[in-house]
Amino acid sequence: MQVEGPPPAEALAHRKEAVVNEWLARTLRTYPSHTARFLHQEADPFRNPVGAALKQGLPALFDELAGAMDATRIQSALDRVVRIRAVQDFTPSQAVGFLFLLKDVLREQGLWAAELERRIDLMALAAFDLYMECREQIAEIKVGEARRAVMVAERSLRGETS
């Protein structure tokens, strides 16, 4: 039976660590097994920026899910995760799909509510917008690089030097 209202904030807060740990574990399973092990085990954020982004971003997103849903804080937390996943070898649905993994975790933890589903969906829409912005930036960079390469090739053919 699905509860219509959100679970009490205290219930979410009490289960935060268990929910976030399971959500992180499921998100890490979206990577190849050797990569997932590294992302989970390596604590140095300079050696493991992806793992650090996930370990910082997921708890922040959970806090917003359970709290005020502040758009600025959600955007910041999503940016940490989605910007990295946008340059990795993920399809768009895979890149933002980590948010939908939270739905199953909440159900299994007995914390499911229709309002939480709506909030996760809103986060997913924001994540997709951010993903598209990142991909557009990557495309613009590639176009700029191609233009520069053509200009260099044309100069070389004309015998010009820089």
Q: Where are the domains of the chain?
A: 9-134
One-letter identity of residue 48: N
Q: Is 3 helix (H, G, I), strand (E, B) or coil?
A: strand
Beta bridge partner(s), residue 3? 113
- pLDDT score for 1: 34
Least-confidence region, from 4-18, 25-39, 48-62, 104-118: 4-18
Q: Distance between CA atoms of 13 and 52, rounded to whole angstroms?
A: 22
Residue 70 above 90 pLDDT? Answer: yes
- pLDDT score for 9: 74
- pLDDT score for 93: 95
Q: Model confidence over 107-152: pLDDT tens digits?
A: 999 998 899 999 999 999 999 999 999 888 888 888 888 888 888 8
What does the mean pLDDT of the chain come to? 90
For residue 51, give the nearest of 75, 32, 35, 33 by alpha carbon.
Answer: 35
